[in-house]
A and B are shown apart, each in its own frame.
Chain A
């Protein structure tokens, strides 16, 4: 299996939300639906403060509980990768996958009703391009690539920098990493 991942440098992210707009335009999402979003976390008390910005989305987990829980196989892995997709033609809208995702990363497509989510822009990945969010980021704080390939940019960043993933404790083995 090819494990794709994202590495996001919270030290460089300014929380501008370009990734969100880029995602929505690239994927032609209806207004009011988000596949990605930006969180600002401020710790400490004035004047001893730190701020961290995180662009968040589906983590395309290695242990994808949403895929396991789907009763029809609509939620599936793209080709031989960890990229989690939803096949709208198989989706009943039972919403079990939504309940199964600890990141609340899925959404109900309007007006059709099938379940939708971040695709890591697999239609771009297929052409060798980065996902829209990554390739729009004006700070270049987002990186995309194959995690198990030691020479990839993402692997080298993970090897050289301190990092974290979100909700490691759920056991979902997320593949979006945050450099801290």
Chain B
């Protein structure tokens, strides 16, 4: 028997008893970042493959949501910072060994590209917005510029989208100290999940039957791949080191089992998959907004649970000999 105890009370806020430095802000950021990647990926592809007429929503309406989602995501990233006034420090150096440093610089590149990608679609997709922008000379110049260089912007958009999508996963998987995150499957999983979220947006927004049908098929593929990647991730952990095995066990029993299966896998992955399959077969058309909403929910839950599971999985599991809550009397 091993009894391992902290005999001096340790209760560093958000670190003890298990890591809780990131609550919902970072999952929102990761989700929005993934969705941005998905949007830019689809939008860029439309341009590069010249399928804009075939998929009017994706080509004209969707791109604007990339900078919006990205802004929301970055807002939440900012909200999470505990030393906020120093946020600008992200941009006074580049740390090649730090995924987060890569991420912050990637975001700097993604931002203008996502705006340019959206800019060219404004006049057609959101005419009122296009007119508004056109009132300013600089606005007109930007819109014209973005359309003139549309192909280049789309090329950049495609590359950056993949980077961004992967980055949201790599950010976590680079933390070798957190066994649940320490697997290479997180990066593709988050990319695919981001694409699925973008596809869900398309399903919610499009009025075009062909577009809906095609993106339903795309989303089915994406969700299936996502499910496979989740399974592989768990297998990968379950066959890993001791702490990773322990981490994988968290979803099969304990406090994470119900959130994982009942609140994520079933409603956020399985249900949209089934509904979208039915839709493809032409059933339950009136309910078709449900499956993309569930898919978006699943996309967020994936991040939220991953962030939580990773923080809970740990190399150390010390228990205080005395009630750490008593230190609150001193704070």
CB-based contact B100/A69 at 8 Å: yes
* Contact A32-B83, Cβ < 8 Å, known A37-B8, A42-B2, A42-B3: no
Residue of A nearest to B97 (CB): A68
Interface residues of B in 1-26 (CB under 8 A from A): 1-8, 10-16, 19, 21-22
Question: Is the C-beta of A79 less than 8 angstroms from some C-beta in chain B?
Answer: no
Whether the pair B82, A96 counts as a contact (CB closer than 8 A) is no
Query: Top 7 A-B pairs ranked by shortest CB distance?
Result: A93-B82, A93-B83, A113-B82, A102-B177, A31-B330, A71-B101, A71-B100
Contact A73 B95, beta carbon cutoff 8 Å: yes
Further 4 A-B residue pairs, CB within 8 A, beyond A42-B2, A72-B101, A74-B89: A17-B8, A93-B82, A94-B100, A167-B315
| Min CB–CB distance B328 → chain A (angstroms) | 7
Min CB–CB distance A109 → chain B (angstroms): 9
B257 within 8 A of A: no
Interface centre among A33, A37, A42 (most CB of B within 10 A): A37
A95/B82 in contact, CB under 8 A: yes
Bits for A41-59, please: 1 = Cβ < 8 Å to B, else 0.
Answer: 1111100000001000000
B90 CB contact (under 8 Å) in A71, A104, A114, A171: A71
Q: How far is the CB of B38 from chain A (nearest CB, A)?
A: 24
> In the complex, what residue of chain B is closest to A54 when comparing beta carbons?
B4
> Would you list 22 pairs from A and B whose C-beta atoms are within 8 A, ordered by A residue?
A32-B11, A34-B11, A40-B321, A42-B4, A65-B175, A65-B176, A70-B98, A72-B90, A72-B92, A72-B95, A89-B86, A93-B81, A94-B100, A98-B15, A101-B177, A102-B176, A103-B315, A104-B314, A107-B12, A108-B21, A113-B81, A170-B177
Which A residues are in CB contact (< 8 Å) with B311? 99
Interface flags for A64-91 (1: CB within 8 Å of B; 0: not) read 0100111111100000000000001111
Tell me if A100 counts as interface (CB < 8 A to partner B): yes
- The answer to the question of B318 belonging to the interface, with a C-beta cut-off of 8 Å to chain A, is yes
Closest chain B residue to A31, Cβ basis? B330
Q: Which residues of B254-281 have CB atoms within 8 Å of chain A's CB atoms?
A: none
Is the pair A94, B80 in contact by a Cβ cutoff of 8 Å? yes
Given A68-B98, A70-B98, A104-B314, do A92 and B331 touch, yes or no (CB 8 Å)? no
Q: Which of B34-64 contact A (CB under 8 A)?
A: none
A126 at the interface (CB under 8 A from B): no
CA distance A96 to B92 in the complex (A): 17
In Å, the complex CA distance between A171 and B327 comes to 34
Contacts known (A38-B7, A39-B7); A72 close to B89, Cβ less than 8 A: yes
CB distance from A108 to the nearest CB of B (A): 5
Interface residues of B in 143-180 (CB under 8 A from A): 174-178
The digit string for A163-174, where 1 denotes a CB below 8 A from any CB of B, is 000010111000
Give the shortest distance, in Å, between A171 (CB) and chain B (any CB).
7
The interface of chain B, by Cβ under 8 A from chain A, is 1-8, 10-16, 19, 21-22, 80-84, 86-87, 89-90, 92-93, 95, 97-101, 103-104, 174-178, 241, 310-311, 314-316, 318, 321, 327-328, 330-331
Give how many A residues have a beta carbon under 8 Å from the other chain's beta carbons.
Answer: 54
Most chain A beta carbons < 10 A, residue from B2, B82, B321: B82
Q: Is the CB of A113 within 8 A of B84?
A: yes
B87 and A40 form a contact (CB under 8 A)? no
In the complex, which residue of chain B has the Cβ closest to the Cβ of A69?
A: B98
B89 close to A69 (CB less than 8 A): no
Chain B nearest CB, measured from A113 CB (Å): 4
Q: Is the CB of A99 within 8 A of B318?
A: no
Instruction: Judge whether B87 and A92 touch: CB under 8 Å.
Output: yes
A110 to B177, CA, bound (A): 24
Complex Cα distance, B87 from A113, in Å, reads 12
Give the distance in Å from the alpha carbon of A74 to the alpha carbon of B103 in the complex: 17
Q: Which residues of A are found within 8 Å of B316, using beta-carbon distances?
A: 102-104, 167
Closest approach, in angstroms, between the C-beta of B311 and any C-beta of chain A?
7
Q: Is there a chain B Cβ closer than 8 Å to A20's Cβ?
A: yes
CA distance A100 to B314 in the complex (A): 11
* Contact present for B93 and A104 (CB under 8 Å): no
